[in-house]
Amino acid sequence: MPRLRSPRRSVIALSVLAWCAQAQTSEGEASQKLETVVVSGQGRTQQLQSVPIAIQVLGADQVRKLGAANLGDLDAHIPGLDVDANQPTQPRMSLRGIGTSDFGIGTDSPVGMYVDGVYAGKTGGALLNFNDVKRIEVLKGPQGTLFGRNSAGGAISIVTQEPEFRASGRGLLRLGEHGLRQAEALVNQPLGDGLALRASLVTRSSNGELRDAATGQRAGGDHSWGARLALRWQPSEDTQAFLTYEHERLDQRARPAIGLVKAGAPGTPPPFPADPAQYLDPLHAPLLNDVAGDREKRDFDGLTLRIEHSLPWAEFSSTTAYRHFSSLNRQDNDGTNNPAIYLSTTNLEGNRSFQQEFRLTGKQGMADWLAGLSLYDERATQTASADATTTSLDTLSGNLLGLPLFSTVNQLSAAAGLTGVDLLGLPWQELMSNVARNRALAVYGDVIWHLSPATRLTTGLRFTRDDKRFSWFNPLREAGALDAQLAALDAAGLFPGLVAMGALSQDQADQLRGGMSQNSLIATQGATQAPLSLRKRWTDTSPRLVLDHRYSRDLMVYASVTRGYQAGGFNTLQVASSYQPERVTNFELGLKGQLADQALSWGASLFQYRFDNLQTLQLVPASTPGAIPAYQVTVSDQRGTGLDLEARWQLSAGLRLNGALELLDQTYRHGRASGGEDLAGLPVGTPRSRASIGVDYGFAAFGGRAGANLQAAYQSAQRCNPESYVQGQCLSTASFRVGGPRSRLDARLGWDRADRAWGLALLVTNLQDRRYVHKLWYEAAPLGSAYATVSPGRSASLELHVGY
């Protein structure tokens, strides 16, 4: 069980380091200096403290010191951001509690992910490993007038390094526990006047900290590599162009599914329904997964051309981008190796997208303006398959219908004198195939009006036109071996003979025969034997209004009203089911300030938003006997009130502190749980508080520079509602808890030579070895099973880095 006193220990440790640094400062340490943080989230290069938006920024040095491979390793230290990276080809993200649980290609996320201004979507191309990253900007609240595509709940902007006109290079090797092997290499080389090349390579692999109790295979590890080539051409002072190619390949075992029920004797179903009070503790339960070829794979390629040109009256930029990826995720969905409850799923995706964006920025008189035109074209395919056997379907029909179909037919065949009939143990697969063709046009922009030297008014507007075509194809189940046996039984006249003898009624015979021929796993409405297509169009106009006033050089106050929009979409697993557009209205009051003499900068924002028509795809238990759970769309209206705080304090030249906090009260305005309960006024489930605090302490040692870093994170418990328990986000048993408070402490101790030509470091992630049950999954509940995913434990590694 997580303990709440760990954050206090972290604060004590940070205070001790601060006291030590203050003592060293008194002995002659150089005076502190306030660091200037530059961001480009508003489409202009600005100092962070002058931007009237709640933004949290992490630089490349912070990312390296935390040992983060991708955004999923950082969310604990960015309060308000939640990244579920258990399945990197199907990640889920939210900001300030606004996100989506939809894993299909039919919708977008209200949190826009951008890499160098290029929209990354929400599925296979959204969560790539960091490769030559310069900084990460997390903009909270709607940002539609600043970005070309979905950012109703906020935007995450990843900015990479550009080629430079000087020779440089660096390398990094990191070796650690669980077989961790990470290597990075970078070369930057001028190629002549106005031409430079930058090439980088990142590779990472680990065996995982879990081991299958039956096979001995490692699980929970990762394996990927990526390359990036960037060419910069600057023919004149007014013009430059960047051509970038990036590739990443991911090939690793699928996320482990830790079963919550005892596997039992092979072929013997567990008790149905499963009793949560008897669940095994996932943190200590054996891992038993039996999916042949379980795998998560992705091939990603991206090509981007960015052209920048200074006009006499404006700065012009054009970004042309092409993205393509294919992914596979085949995983265990029952959490056991018991054939009686075998269930697995496979997700196959293919995606290609083309984006074109034009921007103009300029200053005329009292107006500092930005205008943008964005065009987006995407073609995506997805095939979701559910795999079982006639043995596990026999368990399913027995649990839900009270009639185990296949074993009953085996018994009837034997009674009728038919030999060689065995309908158990045969493969069964169901498919849902989708094709999406999405096109979007957006015209957006804002103007910063300098009303006085101290007061600015920002007005922004975004016009969006979305055109989406979507198709579903849910064919008859594939079970060739079973069909061969059924054909033999039909030829022998088994069912008509049993009806004629009075052993079965006609209705019973039809139920037996039909149950073995119909789809049972992918529950849809309106499924047909031919693809069904729909086309939807949506139009929206969203405004932004911000007033900021600088009381002094060191203090700014701002107030904003912004509206966010997310296009509608489609439920991939429910034929002919569509989503309506979602809208967010956000009110915010903020302060940004600094004490230059004390090298302290800080920001605070009080916000309130209303999210209308939130469409959520979730697994809903069947309301009628004999039916199986289905992924369905539920609709709700939500509100959130919260506070964001952030501070950076350079206490001395050797000591820097940073901290961030978000408090959030997110509740339902309207909505019903899948069980029919009224959710109005109840919490949505988002934790009330999240915080991160860190210290970076450096000092001269052994002819170089040594440094110690600690970064502590804390998250309060989930605020549960009736639906939280249905979705596996909350549960409390005698042995474990889901949805409790969480804490984490990451540490680094390093040394660099004075000229920074090389250095060594020891990194420890999750120093206190706090592991938590991430979520419970109930796809196999009709079989009497359920499984959990858990967070990783402590991991230590040694790092060698070189540079010139």
Main-chain phi, psi angles of 740, to 5 degrees: -80, 180
Global pTM exceeds 0.85: yes
278: buried, middle or exposed (CB in 10 Å: 19+, 13-18, 0-12)? middle
pLDDT digits (tens, 9 = 90+) for 165-176: 999 999 999 999
Q: How confident is the model at residue 12 (pLDDT cuts 50, 70, 90)?
A: very low
Cβ 553 vs Cβ 99: under 8 Å? no
Q: Please, how many CA atoms are within 13 Å of residue 466, restricted to the half-sphere of its CB? A: 28
What pLDDT is attached to residue 43? 67
pLDDT digits (tens, 9 = 90+) for 286-316: 999 999 889 999 999 999 999 999 999 999 9
Average pLDDT over residues 94-100: 85
- Tokens standing for residue 382: 């997805």
Residue identified by tokens 């903020």 is 590
What pLDDT is attached to residue 146? 72
What pLDDT is attached to residue 616? 73
What pLDDT is attached to residue 35? 66
Q: CB under 8 Å to 453, separation ≥6 — which residues? A: none
Strand spans (E) along 451-568: 455-473, 532-552, 555-566
| Angle (deg, nearest 10), helices 405-415 and 390-401 | 100
What pLDDT is attached to residue 14? 41
The more confidently predicted of residues 102 and 181 is 181
DSSP bridge partners of 140: 154
The segment with the largest mean pLDDT, out of 263-267, 499-503, 672-676, 758-762, is 758-762
Interatomic CA distance for residues 209 and 112, integer angstroms: 32
Helix or strand or coil: residue 448?
Answer: strand
> What one-letter code names the amino acid at 370?
L
Interatomic CA distance for residues 276 and 273, integer angstroms: 9
Using alpha carbons, list the distances in angstroms from residue 239 to 235, 283, 321, 392, 728: 6, 57, 19, 65, 54
Strand spans (E) along 40-194: 46-47, 55-59, 81-84, 92-95, 98-99, 111-115, 118-119, 133-140, 154-160, 168-176, 180-192
Q: Quick check: 18 pLDDT over 60?
A: no
Average pLDDT over residues 514-527: 77
What pLDDT is attached to residue 391? 96
Interatomic CA distance for residues 779 and 773, integer angstroms: 17
Average pLDDT over residues 485-489: 92
Interatomic CA distance for residues 399 and 778, integer angstroms: 15
- Tokens standing for residue 496: 């008509």
Q: How confident is the model at residue 265 (pLDDT cuts 50, 70, 90)?
A: confident
Average pLDDT over residues 414-440: 93
What pLDDT is attached to residue 429? 95
pLDDT digits (tens, 9 = 90+) for 656-705: 999 999 999 999 999 888 778 899 999 999 999 999 999 999 999 998 99
Q: How confident is the model at residue 33 (pLDDT cuts 50, 70, 90)?
A: low
What pLDDT is attached to residue 707? 94
Q: How confident is the model at residue 141 (pLDDT cuts 50, 70, 90)?
A: confident
Using alpha carbons, list the distances in angstroms from residue 737 to 379, 692, 774, 787: 42, 23, 10, 14
pLDDT digits (tens, 9 = 90+) for 345-403: 999 999 999 999 999 999 998 999 999 999 999 999 999 999 999 999 999 999 988 88
| Helical segments of 637-716, H only | none
Over the range 411-438, which residues count as b (16 or more CB within 10 Å of their CB) and which as e?
ebbeebeeeebebbebebbbbbbbbbeb
Main-chain phi, psi angles of 84, to 5 degrees: -90, 105
Average pLDDT over residues 37-52: 74
Positive or negative torsion for Cα 632, 388, 736, 94: negative
- Tokens standing for residue 465: 């036109």
Q: How confident is the model at residue 39 (pLDDT cuts 50, 70, 90)?
A: low
What pLDDT is attached to residue 27? 39
When mean pLDDT is compared across 218-222, 673-677, 800-804, the lowest value belongs to 673-677
pLDDT digits (tens, 9 = 90+) for 599-653: 899 999 999 999 988 777 767 776 655 556 667 777 889 999 999 999 999 999 8
Q: Quick check: 17 pLDDT over 80?
A: no
Find the helix or strand (DSSP H, E) in which 752 lies.
strand 742-753
Helix or strand or coil: residue 146?
Answer: coil
Interatomic CA distance for residues 679 and 506, integer angstroms: 45
327: buried, middle or exposed (CB in 10 Å: 19+, 13-18, 0-12)? buried
What pLDDT is attached to residue 113? 85
Q: How confident is the model at residue 13 (pLDDT cuts 50, 70, 90)?
A: very low
What pLDDT is attached to residue 573? 82
What pLDDT is attached to residue 150? 64
Q: Quick check: 411 pLDDT over 80?
A: yes
Q: List the helix and strand counts (H, then E) for the chain.
A: 8, 41
Percent of the chain having pLDDT more than 90?
Answer: 63
The DSSP call for residue 314 is -
DSSP bridge partners of 247: 227, 301
The structural domains of the chain, ordered by start, are 6-477+519-803 (2.40.170.20)
Q: Quick check: 122 pLDDT over 50?
A: yes
Cβ 675 vs Cβ 624: under 8 Å? no
**Vertex 467: Cα angle to 464 and 469 (nearest 5):** 155
Q: How confident is the model at residue 706 (pLDDT cuts 50, 70, 90)?
A: very high
| CA neighbor of 259 nearest in space, from 239, 223, 226, 288 | 288
Interatomic CA distance for residues 184 and 129, integer angstroms: 12
Q: How confident is the model at residue 147 (pLDDT cuts 50, 70, 90)?
A: low
Strand spans (E) along 284-395: 295-310, 315-332, 344-364, 367-389
Q: Please, how many CA atoms are within 13 Å of residue 444, restricted to the half-sphere of its CB? A: 27
When mean pLDDT is compared across 85-99, 516-530, 578-592, the lowest value belongs to 516-530
Helix or strand or coil: residue 572?
Answer: coil
Q: Please, how many CA atoms are within 13 Å of residue 616, restricted to the half-sphere of its CB? A: 24
What pLDDT is attached to residue 525? 59
